[in-house]
Copies of this chain bind each other. A is one copy, B any other.
Amino acid sequence: MTPFTPKLTEAGLNPNVSVDCVIFGFDGERLKVLLIDRDQVISAKGDEKIYALPGNLIKEDENLDEAAERVLFELTGLEDIFLEQFGSFGDPKRLTKEHDSQWLKQIRAHPEARVITVAYYSLIRADQYELHASGFAKDAIWHDIEELPPLGFDHSEIIESALKELKFKSKYQPIGFELLPEKFTLGQLQKLYEAILNIELDKRNFRRKILKMSFLTPLKEKQIGVPHKPARYYTFDRDKYQSYKSQDFYFTL
């Protein structure tokens, strides 16, 4: 029934501390969140599936950043993702919902242990990474941020908090960039900001402002096969961004 036998691998795990990853994905139009489908023997009442963020206990010999990276990879196959810690969640009752503790009994050596979780987030182009669910994740799926399914634990709260952080940060620093694919058009970038902030932006003003910061390098390459004037691709100049950042900058869109 369960091909994954987690309890045997619990050696070296700290029973009280986990990491959870809120991976935002952008598909060119809308903002998504990556959730895993728990392979639960006793499903919650009837047919309602309960999803969760990719997350698990940390190992005793790794730091928190390493744990987040490892756990994300183990459950979803995502690698080399820039992850940023944004908060920790430690309500004593955060794991005590009935179907959550049912599930923990399947996978944890100490299912009753109190667990504090350290949460990370990231933002990637959903279509540029392949997902490979494994471990106790039966599946790893993008869900639209506006219509999330029922979530286990306190993961709704964690996602909400991550989104708040993403909105705040992206308004005051060019956050899109540290988290962005290699090349992109300004139209895509604008849509990304519009999706994050949930507002509309003026095309001309956006382009002027974003280019003035001058850490976007225009490429010779343009879009091909699009049924409209092909847009130029840009790339993000990490060095120029760093010097801009160190100058105590701010910006507003």
**Which chain A residues have a beta carbon within 8 Å of chain B's beta carbons?**
14-17, 58, 60-64, 67, 85, 87-92, 114, 116, 118, 171-172, 248, 250, 252
- What is the predominant secondary structure among interface residues of chain A facing chain B? mixed
Q: How far is the CA of A112 from the CA of B14 in the complex (A)?
A: 13
CB-CB < 8 A to A15: which residues of B? 16
Pick from B89, B118, B252: contact of A90, CB below 8 A.
Answer: B118
CB-CB < 8 A to A250: which residues of B? 171-172, 250, 252
Would you give the shortest CB distance from A109 to chain B, in whole angstroms? 15
CB-CB < 8 A to A252: which residues of B? 250
Would you give the shortest CB distance from A167 to chain B, in whole angstroms? 8
Q: Can you list 5 A-B pairs with a CB-CB distance of less than 8 A? A: A16-B16, A63-B91, A64-B89, A172-B172, A250-B252
Q: Output the nearest chain B residue to A86 by Cβ-Cβ distance.
A: B87
CB-CB < 8 A to A91: which residues of B? 63
Q: Which 4 A-B pairs have the closest CB atoms?
A: A64-B90, A16-B16, A88-B88, A63-B91
Q: How far is the CA of A52 from the CA of B118 in the complex (A)?
A: 23
Would you give the shortest CB distance from A93 to chain B, in whole angstroms? 9
Q: Output the nearest chain B residue to A89 by Cβ-Cβ distance.
A: B64
Q: How far is the CA of A130 from the CA of B85 in the complex (A)?
A: 34
**When the two chains form their complex, are residues B17 and A61 in contact, meaning their CB atoms are under 8 A apart?**
no
Q: How far is the CA of A34 from the CA of B248 in the complex (A)?
A: 26
Q: How far is the CA of A38 from the CA of B60 in the complex (A)?
A: 27
Pick from B16, B63, B67, B92: contact of A63, CB below 8 A.
Answer: B92
Would you give the shortest CB distance from A194 to chain B, in whole angstroms? 14
Q: Output the nearest chain B residue to A65 by Cβ-Cβ distance.
A: B90
Q: Output the nearest chain B residue to A117 by Cβ-Cβ distance.
A: B88
CB-CB < 8 A to A90: which residues of B? 17, 58, 63-64, 67, 118
Would you give the shortest CB distance from A126 to chain B, in whole angstroms? 26
CB-CB < 8 A to A92: which residues of B? 60-63
Q: Output the nearest chain B residue to A197 by Cβ-Cβ distance.
A: B248
**When the two chains form their complex, are residues B114 and A116 in contact, meaning their CB atoms are under 8 A apart?**
no
Pick from B14, B61, B85, B118: contact of A16, CB below 8 A.
Answer: B14
